Amino acid sequence: MLDIKQIRNNPTEVQERLSTRGDYDLTEILALDQQQRELETKRTELQTRSNEVGKAVGQKIKGGADPKGEEVAALREEGNQVKKQLADLEPQERELKEKIHDLVIGLPNLPDPETPVGKTEDDNVEVRRWGDELIPQRNDILPHYEIGEKLGWLNFERAARIAQSRFVALLGDGAALERALISFMLDRHIKVGYAEVLPPILINSASLTASGQLPKFAEESFKCDRDDLWLTPTAEVPVTSLYRDEVLQDSELPILHCAYTPCFRREAGSYGRDTRGLIRLHQFNKVELFKFVKPEESEAAHQALVKDAESILEALKLPYRVLQLCTGDIGFSARKCYDLEVWLPSQNKYREISSCSNCGDFQARRGNIRYKVAGKKGTQFLHTLNGSGLAIGRTMAAILENYQQPDGTIAVPEVLQRYMGDRTVLGKSF
């Protein structure tokens, strides 16, 4: 959430930076803020006068004035009128504050100065590539969903019978490989300093609001109608709220978490895209990386987070590239973001497998997550960072294609073999 003081004090700069993200207008917010501040000034003046009148009544009586006399009665009448005015102002001011909050909470984060200005994904900037020499030089590689079905690992038809389209049932070695990937990623991240979290999968509206999914993206999430609970779209949401409404000590920072959860998304805006396979499902598994850091450590922590996500792809020996997203393509809560894209031979292109975002204090403001420096007065908002480390289904798709053998079997990446009973090749399960 943006700071209303920043909008008030630097409206031109904020407007210019927001305009690189889309069509946003601060006019109404600034007008309402002006009204609210005028009411606040009036309220302060009335409170001061109310205190003066109350003090004057006491002084008059103490000086010998008749408590029921005209002079004291006049002061008390003035005091009553002031209190009535104050009572009338309070709901007006509260309503204005609510209107301002509802408008500000709908604004995205301000792009970092280093974020490239652009309108679409075509304006994203490639930063680096890794593993070009690992790209399979064959033209007979089947799409992951075809080889997965042939092997009996992926069953979309039976999953649709259980739920609906865009769900998958993993069977045999497919289920085992999914589990192996989750364990491998968690083990890897824990080894470099992330503390594992297994958060609730059902989350409340306050948690979705804190991370930035509500109110803007309500249509993307699945809600339980009888409760104020939603199915988590990403572990970023519950992990953000682990410390919601808390004041941490600076000695506790940085806090690094990794979390595995199933994730649920309606994919409301993706009709006709990736309708087959594991790329765009309503339910998928993901290992998430999350950091709570001091503002001065934010940029270095972001670069390190990206490298932690990259390390998984490098350990799996999957070719990938890193893109820095432009202002028109970064997520709602992000101020700076890098996407990792893995190579899919069947499509002859890279596909997103991780987004690593620096959200600055945007989520901390929404979730009221602060920290206190020892020996100093006051508190300040910390910075939050998150990234997929990685999306499991898309990693599975990349393995099914990049490790596909000419005989239709799948070689097991070396780092996964110990999770698969030391098997080096996987074949048909059913």
Name the nearest CA neighbour of 355 among 386, 321, 376, 312. 386
Cβ-proximal residues to 201 (8 Å cutoff; 6+ apart), any chain? 231, 232, 238, 261, 262
Active site residue 128: no
Buried/exposed 30-67: b ≥16 CB within 10 Å, e otherwise: bebbeebeebeeebeebeebbeebeebbeebeeeeeee
Q: What is the DSSP string of 86-150?
A: HHHHHHHHHHHHHHHHHHHTTSPPPPPTTSPP-SSGGG-EEEEEE-GGGS---S-PPPHHHHHHH
Buried/exposed 244-262: b ≥16 CB within 10 Å, e otherwise: beeebeeeebbbbbbbbbe
Collapsed DSSP state (helix, strand, coil) of residue 400: helix
Helical ranges in 192-254 per DSSP H? 205-211, 236-240
Active site residue 221: no
CA atoms within 13 A on the CB side of 233: 22
Active site residue 297: no
Active site residue 226: no
167 within 8 A of 222, measured Cβ to Cβ: no
Token pair for residue 390?
Answer: 């990685």
392 within 8 A of 285, measured Cβ to Cβ: yes
Active-site residue (options: 8, 276, 280, 321): 280
Beta strands 336-344 and 320-324: pairing type?
antiparallel
Active-site residue (options: 355, 370, 388, 401): 355
Is 140 buried (19+), middle (13-18) or exposed (0-12) by CB count in 10 A? exposed
Active-site residue (options: 93, 352, 423, 429): 352
As a whole number of angstroms, the distance between CA 120 and CA 363 comes to 24
CA atoms within 13 A on the CB side of 295: 14
- How many CB atoms are located within 10 Å of the residue 126 CB? 11
166 within 8 A of 280, measured Cβ to Cβ: yes
Name the nearest CA neighbour of 337 among 115, 96, 15. 115
Token pair for residue 84?
Answer: 């009535």
Active-site residue (options: 17, 21, 188, 265): 265
Active site residue 280: yes
Is 173 buried (19+), middle (13-18) or exposed (0-12) by CB count in 10 A? buried
Which active-site residues does the annotation give?
265, 280, 352, 355, 394
